[in-house]
Amino acid sequence: MTDNAFAVEIRAQVNKQTATELTLAYELRNTTDARIFVFDHLLYFDAKGATERADTGAYVFSDGEGVARIVRGFIAPPMFMSVARRPPIVASAVNPGWASAGLIKLSLPLAEAGPYFPAQPCDAASAQPITRLRVQVGWVEEREGTKTGPFEIDHKSLVRLIGGWGSPLQRTAQAEIQVTGVKLCLYSGRFDRAQLQR
């Protein structure tokens, strides 16, 4: 279920599927005895450099063999790219016994998308069939010395993690979903199908 299976539980399912859109619902439950931070809010800079939040967005990567990886969390820049500025790392704080629920809406066909690459148009004729979705959400337990601060965006009160907080930087909660009628357009050109940063 996760790389630290005793710590959190994640469940995911297809909530709705039409010819043009796929909606996934997930719930990540904290079964530890400490607060955790769930990295389930994707921030980006708009054309004017202001920080925005992709409310129902996620990163999409091909994992081969009919699998698409649907990701919420933070990803390191690729080695071949210099990134001068990154959005702040924010999270939902989840107390023991509580859960963080999320909704992901993606256009169909799916198109590969990462935080450091511009979106590309998807040619449905070249899309590859997908039979399984691998939903991944990043999280980490609160540790001694972790520095946090409040972060408000879109009328949501989140937690901003400041500085370092030890390793791993992020753990991965994962659930798999069988799907039908889903296709994926691969990114054209240089692209990094990165895992969540650890």
Cβ–Cβ under 8 Å, residues 159 and 150: yes
pLDDT of residue 184: 99
Residue ranges making up the domain that contains 122: 8-185
Tens digit of each residue's pLDDT (9 = 90 or more) over 72-91: 999 999 989 998 888 999 99
- Residue 70 falls inside a structural domain: yes
How many percent of the chain have pLDDT more than 90?
A: 81
- Residue 2 falls inside a structural domain: no
Tens digit of each residue's pLDDT (9 = 90 or more) over 40-63: 999 998 888 889 999 899 999 999
- Residue 134 falls inside a structural domain: yes
Buried (b) or exposed (e) across 170-188, using 16+ Cβ within 10 A? Answer: bbbbbbebebeebbbbebe
Q: Does residue 37 carry a pLDDT above 80?
A: yes
Tens digit of each residue's pLDDT (9 = 90 or more) over 146-173: 999 999 998 889 999 998 898 999 999 9
| Domain tally, the chain | 1
Q: What residues are paired with 162 via a beta bridge?
A: 147
pLDDT of residue 4: 46
- Residue 1 falls inside a structural domain: no
- Residue 142 falls inside a structural domain: yes
- Residue 120 falls inside a structural domain: yes
% helix, strand, coil for the chain, step of 5: 0, 55, 45
- Residue 29 falls inside a structural domain: yes
- Residue 197 falls inside a structural domain: no
